[in-house]
Amino acid sequence: MERAAVFDVDGTLVDTNHLHVVAWWEAFRQAGHHVPMHAVHRAVGLPSTDLVAHLLGDDRDEDQDADISAGHKALYGQYFDRLPALPRAGELLRRLHGNGWTVVLATSAGGAELSALRRAIDADDAIAATASADDVREGKPDPEPVEHALELAGVRAERAVFVGDTVWDMQAGSRAGVRCVGVLCGGIPRADLEKAGADAVYADPAHLLSALDGSPLA
């Protein structure tokens, strides 16, 4: 029977979370908002509109939302040519592909950003499909990105594992009915990932690869 290994990308396979934090912080600053970096970090992984709402609240001037998001996009885009893959990320995907897993990405990135992330991972031969921001109406923690990834893989939830680095990932995977694996390389504490639904937690892709035989992806 087919099995699906669904992966978040930012902070899970590519070391980008703190780049996002700096880009969002500067975009907020340019719009006249002083949002602490630690608060931005906890919100990374939400879709852009949801992230702005989460950090500025419902009483914000919503007319600024698009400009703030555009500012983040422009600032973050400066890093596209040098995004760093996390240790052994591509090797992990290839190993799973070789072991018979259908590997699918589920990410809030799209367009040129997604292309830059895939170049960083450098494992297109192992990736069967991608559920991106361009393909869904709701982002994480809504289960739609994970559910769409399962549709692309043609696999039922009970035959899938979702790997991510944020509480939003764990909540989305849990709501989609899949087993969730957390990684610490995005900067979110183990306890928070476990509370949000992680069945197992590893340091990074290299740690998960080294412990693969005893993991939910065995």
Question: Strands of 3-7's sheet, edge to edge?
Answer: 127-131, 101-106, 3-7, 160-164, 179-183, 200-202
Predicted local confidence at residue 134, as pLDDT: 84
Threshold 0.85, pTM exceeds? yes
Predicted local confidence at residue 31, as pLDDT: 98
The total of other beta-carbon atoms located within 10 Å of residue 171's CB is: 20
- Secondary structure class of 79 (helix, strand, coil): coil
Predicted local confidence at residue 215, as pLDDT: 98
Report, as ranges of residue numbers, the positions in the chain whose pLDDT lies below 70. Answer: none
Is residue 69 within 8 A of residue 46, CB to CB? The reply is no
Alpha-helical (H) ranges within 78-200 are: 89-98, 111-121, 144-153, 167-176, 190-195
- Asked whether the CA dihedral 17, 144, 171, 128 is positive or negative, the reply is negative
- State how beta strands 179-183 and 101-106 pair: unpaired
Predicted local confidence at residue 133, as pLDDT: 82
Predicted local confidence at residue 51, as pLDDT: 97
DSSP 143: S
